[in-house]
Amino acid sequence: MEYRILEDHNVCKFVFTKQDMVAESVLYKYESYKKRTVICCSVQSGCKVGCTFCGTGKRFIRSLTSDEIVEQVKIVINNKVLNEIKNTNEIEKFQIMFMSMGEPFDNYYQVKEAIVKLNKLFPNAQLLISTVGLRKYKELNDFMKLSIEINKIGLQFSIHQANEEKRNKLIPYKNKLTLREIRDYGIEWSENTGRPVYLNYCIDGNNISDEEIKGYNTRIFDPAGQDTIGGGCGQLWFVQDWMKSYKKK
């Protein structure tokens, strides 16, 4: 797997290419890699979900294998993180997030294999899945069991709107859970694992009203702080150009 690196202060973006796919990972350094390291990796080349604010969903190429997912993390660590520290065990807060290109539950079993492999390679890393909440009950039940078995697994839902109708326009993918179903699954997941569920929210200027905030507090979850990951999903011009020009043989 070939790759190139683009750097901007404490953010490094890795673009991975093969003959039949392109993917990206984003590395975030908070103060230092020892203090906190975050890696957002891809699970698919392109995406079927089609969130209107994300360039990834403009085209779907293929799902990645578990080895391709794990290799992204290895390359990122070996090329950047280990230049500053000797071993990843030194990292105080180490997070590997499946939230760059692709929807994890649309490639669930390869993502599951990657989680198991990464947990063995980096036992101090939190492994967080970010999903819009696909209506795949078999996979959701399996993920519940996996999350109980591996206590490093985290869950994030990409919500982006507290209003169902507005959310459907922002995320037009039809086979997804409603906000109420997301809330119910999130509560069950949290009760079974003892860990909180987090919400991802893309602020676009149209979803930051008092009404929106009230909708989150009353319909979904209690707020639990905030963080930012910048543009970590399929936004690089090189990735967009590659996907536009790719032709299957």
The reported pTM is 0.85
103, two tokens: 């929807």
pLDDT value for 92: 98
pLDDT value for 229: 47
Task: Tell me which residues of the chain have a pLDDT lower than 50.
Answer: 223-224, 226, 229, 231, 234-238, 240, 242-243
CA end-to-end span of the chain, whole Å? 19
Return the closest-CA partner of residue 228 out of 201, 204, 193. Answer: 201
> Which domains can be identified in the chain, with CATH numbers?
2-238 (3.20.20.70)
Q: Is the dihedral of CA 213, 217, 219, 220 positive or negative?
A: positive
Greatest extent of the chain over all pairs of C-alpha atoms, in Å: 51
pLDDT value for 67: 98
Degrees to nearest 5, angle at CA 106 with 111 and 43? 45
CB 98 within 8 A of CB 54: no
CB 73 within 8 A of CB 128: no
pLDDT value for 238: 47
pLDDT value for 219: 55
pLDDT value for 216: 59
CA distances in angstroms from 149 to 79, 94, 145, 193, listed in the order given: 31, 19, 6, 9
pLDDT value for 122: 98
Residues with Cβ within 8 Å of 245's Cβ and at least 6 positions away in sequence, in order, are: none
pLDDT value for 1: 83
pLDDT value for 227: 53
CA distance linking residue 249 with residue 246, whole number of Å: 9
122, two tokens: 């980096």
pLDDT value for 56: 76
Return the closest-CA partner of residue 29 out of 71, 83, 75. Answer: 83
pLDDT value for 20: 93
Return the closest-CA partner of residue 1 out of 59, 65, 47, 57. Answer: 65
Cβ count within 10 A of residue 223: 10
